[in-house]
Structure 1
Amino acid sequence: MNKYITNGIILMSAAMLCLSCQQNAVTKDEESIYDKTDAYVLDMMDSLDIIGLNYCVLIDGKLMHKKAFGLANYEHEVPMTQDHLFAVASMSKLFSSMALHKLLKDNNRNVNETVSEFLPERKDLPVSWTASSLKSLLSHSSGIPDQIDYQIYLAPDSEDVVIEALQNKPFSSAPGETNKYNATGFLLIRMIIEELAGQDFESYMQENYFDQLNLSKANYGGFKKVVPHRVKSYRMVGEHLEMFPLNYSSPMYAAAGLNINMEELVVWTQAVLDGKIISKEELTPIWKPVVLNNGKPGYFGLGWHTYELGNGISMTGHGGAGISVIRHYYKENSKETVTVILLTNGARNWLKSPDDVNMGIANFFMPGVLD
């Protein structure tokens, strides 16, 4: 064989070996950081006595790692898997928010319009409520009476029950004065979605999101509904671990009631991050904290819990029932992003919140999140 050809083959083989070594080194580094996050999560499970969980990490929108630990059903010792569905509670608001913003865009409407402009035929609503802007409802700054304050939880028999019970109740604050988590606001948001869509909320979400994104397992329903492969949720009551009855009814599905597994939640999250629902540019004002009357930013954007952490890092997302949370971390003027989804079915001791654990995971990939 020609010596130049022979030398070329040797050099090419050496280059390929070098490239292979570099790739193996990267793989080992990646494995190392995911081993560390797994160890951290297992340590948190042990110290907080979490029953079971799924977690995943997306880097720049790409799924890089996911794991399931613990039990999906404590009393029957059913191991947790990545196929299990979770009742994600208020994380449902993110789905509703994105659906609403898409409808607003399609109908040439905007968040500064008032409830009365969206629902002119609803004469049963108090005038003080209908003067509220959609922006104030999404940012929990409207001040309208919150049904939870009056022990009307998230499974009312009908929207009429909520309206009749609260129509003479005072506002908790002046509009725009403060952020106060408000379930009644999302009752109105569901009505507005139905008005813009021309159909009921559940059917609209099924046809336009679950079916379109092939989310075949996602569905709405409270703990009384039989949902195959859904985890059982738990909480501590006094010194005893009890079932957590996450109960919801259709009037409140824009606020809570979604059941979904990690795989399908990741698919939906990627659709958001990839601009498949609305453009990436249109996400910017949605993720920007709404400015309150005092000129300071609140801690809600337009349906998303969002604020600046410092170090140029911002965070947006939502929690669910105090046991699960999705957070998207990003830097201004940078394409670098980290998304961490943490779904649990409860714990005996939330000395650290799911938010804290989520941020602890994110800090491995975006140092400064915890500073």
Structure 2
Amino acid sequence: MAQVQPKVRQQSSAQIDQYLAEVVGKYNIPGISVAVIKNDKVIHRNNYGQANIEYNIPISNKSIFRIYSLTKTIIVTGAFQLIEQNKLSLEDPISKYLHDLPVSWNSVQVKHLVTHSSGLPDIVNYEQLPENEAREKVFADAIQFEKGAKFEYNQTNFWLLQKIIEMISKQDIETFVKENQFNKDDKEVFFSTDSRDIISNRVTQYSNFATGKMQIELPNNGNYLSSCNGLNITMEAFIQWDSKFNTNKLINEKSKKTMWEIFPYTKSDYKFSFGWDQNIVNGHTSYGFSGGRRAAYRNFPKDNLSIIFLANGIGSNVDIVNIVNRIAYFVDNDIVDYNFLALETLQKTVKENISNLRDTFVSLKKDQKYSNVKWEEHLNTIGYTLLYQDKNVADALTVFNINAREYPKSSNAFDSLAEAYEVNNDTKNALLNYTKSMELNTDPTYLARVNKKIKELKEISK
């Protein structure tokens, strides 16, 4: 049996390579670095694509990635280090550490920051302003909802958490994180929230969402949001962090258990723990986070499996956590996300021969394994990818028509079909399907929007 294991690993590694080579092209991702760690051993590590397209520079082991909101996973681990030292408590009101807050903020507790349940207004609305100006504006904004009520992702939470950590540790956040979680002299780990900074070996950031074509993306988020989205790291440094985390060298097992407890929101059943989201795939639970639609970390504690996914851009509407779960499947075939597998199967059918799409759809839908698949949502996603990314209106119409036939009571299906006809300058069918969508959706806001659209189309068609 021991002789078979290396072959199994070699096979799964080859499957991961093949899959990620397809992912680079399929989702228009310039470059990727991936590591798979099983039982504290790296069983797969490879780089795909380019760190810089213009100069044809490939991703390498020296490549440094900005991990955006995945930074929060590192920050919350630092917070739990302070909790272990009895210097901080989840139950502490933030006013214990921060004394210049608006009165209405004072009762918010640390636990509300790390679970994004504070209800505070979001400082990200002012991220292009200097901190003192952004602070003044966000302090003047209204509380959004009662603390603890629900999950609402908010950069103010980790902006304040950074200030608390810095106050307790008497260190800036970069020094605190590097000394407590990395090698403090490691030049492969640093904070920079400005992608315009010229830094040796840092990958170039790309996106096509602003213009529809791939361009260099240079987000500058303000250095006071370092704990929100500012960590930059190599794959090797992240692998070392994962090893320390899994062997309890960063925080102990009791702290992990607390950190991964699902927070009891009072008005929501959203599954989120203290700084980590929970994801269950076919009974296998993982915890992790993602950032900037290009970095993700998943930890499957009962499977002793970790996956690190780092990229420098994305050009298609895909949740990279789904890609990570697919990588997990090649390591353990029981970790199968049938929802995402169904989407990829439909996408493959469209690419190979769209005339087979409905037959593939019907066949998959009959299979009990796919009973929880979001079929309508998947067809809609494929349709919009064809319509706007691929500029293939004819195939988009085929997909949207299938969706409308399969889900005749869905206002959204007919709305999407109408939009595709509108793009195709088929005003008659656009009007017909917008009208149908209104019959199925009586929401006043929606009706007002579609009525306005119908009026515009009728004016154009005169």
Q: What is the TM-score when the length of structure 1 is the normalising length?
A: 0.85
Q: Which residue of 1 aligns with 2:396?
A: none
Q: What is aligned with 2:13? A: 34
1:315 alignment partner, one of 265, 286, 290: 286
Matched with 1:302 is 274
Indicate which of 240, 245, 249 corresponds to 2:222: 249
Tell me which residue corresponds to 1:133: 109
Shift of the alpha carbon at 1:104?
Answer: 2.1
Does the residue aligned with 1:211 lie in a helix, a strand or coil? coil
> What is the aligned partner in structure 2 of residue 269 from structure 1?
242
Match of 1:365 among 316, 331, 344: 331
Equivalent in the alignment of 1:226: 198
Taking the aligned partners of 2:187 and 2:34, their CA distance within structure 1 comes to 20
1:99 maps to 2:78: yes
Quote the offset at 1:328 in angstroms: 1.1
Q: Does residue 346 in structure 1 map to residue 296 in structure 2?
A: no
Query: Which residue pairs with 1:72 in the alignment?
Result: 51
Shift of 1:24: 4.6
SS at match of 2:151: coil
Report 1:48-197 matches (<5 A).
Answer: 48-119=27-98, 122-123=99-100, 125-148=101-124, 151-153=125-127, 156-158=129-131, 160-197=132-169
- Provide the residue aligned with 2:233 in structure 1: 260
Residue 210 of structure 1, CA deviation: 3.2
The aligned residue for residue 216 of structure 1 is 187
* Alignment partners' CA distance in 2, 1:368 and 1:33: 13
Amino acid at match of 1:229: N
Give the counterpart letter for 1:172 in structure 2: Q
Higher RCO, 1 vs 2 (CA within 8 Å, ≥6 residues apart): 1
* CA drift at 1:41: 1.1
The structure where strand makes up a greater share of residues is: 1
Secondary structure of the 1:254 match is helix
Instruction: Give the paired residue count.
Output: 335
8 A contact 1:87–1:246 mirrored in 2: no
Deviation at 1:63, TM superposition (A): 1.6
**Deviation sequence 1:28-60 (CA, Å, 0-9, x none):** 221011111111111111211211100110113
Within the candidate set 356, 360, 368, 2:322 is matched to 356
- The question of whether the paired residues in 1 share the 8 Å contact of 2:116 and 2:157 is answered with yes
Question: What CA deviation, in whole Å up to 9, does each residue of 1:82-140 have, x standing for no partner?
Answer: 21000111111111111111112213431011101222xx22x1122221110010000
Residues 88, 257 of structure 1: 8 Å contact kept? yes
Separation in structure 1 between the aligned mates of residue 206 and residue 152 of structure 2, nearest angstrom: 26
1:309–1:369 CA contact under 8 A, matched in 2 = no
Report the AA paired with residue 38 of structure 1.
Answer: D
Q: Is the 8 A contact 1:140 1:300 kept in 2?
A: no
Contact 2:158 2:227 in 1 (8 A): yes
> Could you tell me how far 1:310 is from its partner in structure 2?
5.2
Gaps of at least 5 residues in structure 1 are 1-21
Q: Give the partner amino acid of 1:243.
A: I
Q: Distance in 2 between matches of 1:215 and 1:61?
A: 22
- Is residue 94–residue 109 contact of structure 2 (8 Å, CA) maintained in 1? yes
For residues 338 and 210 of structure 1, the distance between their equivalents in structure 2, rounded to whole angstroms, comes to 21
CA contact (8 A) 2:278 2:288 kept: no
State the alpha-carbon separation in 2 of the partners of residues 59 and 252 from structure 1: 33
State the 1:259 CA deviation. Answer: 0.9
Q: What's the offset of the Cα at 1:297?
A: 4.3
Q: Offset at 1:162? A: 2.5
Residue 326 of structure 1 aligns to a residue whose secondary structure is strand
Instruction: Give me the whole-angstrom Cα distance separating, in 1, the residues matched to 2:301 and 2:311.
Output: 24
Cα deviations by residue, 1:145-192 (Å, 9 ceiling, x for unpaired): 0123xx323x6422x322200112112222112111110111100110
How far apart, in 1, do the equivalents of 2:232 and 2:197 lie? Answer: 11
Alpha-carbon contact 1:289-1:297 (below 8 Å) kept: no
Deviations 1:213-247 (A, max 9, x none): x6331111121322110000100123221112232
The answer to whether the aligner puts 1:291 opposite 2:258 as a matched pair is no
What one-letter code is carried by the residue in structure 1 that aligns with 2:290? G
Alpha-carbon displacement from aligned partner over 1:195-225 (angstroms, at most 9, x marks no partner): 110222222223333335x633111112132
- Percent identical among aligned pairs is 24
1:235-272 CA-to-partner distances (Å, cap 9, x unmatched) read 01232211122323331111111111100011111111
CA RMSD of aligned residues (A): 1.8
Corresponding residue for 2:296? 325
User: What code does the residue aligned with 1:54 have?
Assistant: S
Distance (whole Å) between structure 1 residues aligned to residue 7 and residue 183 of structure 2: 38
The structure whose residues are more often helix, as a share, is 2
CA contact under 8 A between 2:72 and 2:227: conserved in structure 1? yes
Taking structure 2 as the reference length, what is the TM-score of the superposition? 0.69
In the TM superposition, residue 368 of structure 1 has moved relative to its aligned partner by: 3.2
Does the 8 A contact of 1:187 with 1:255 survive in 2?
Answer: yes
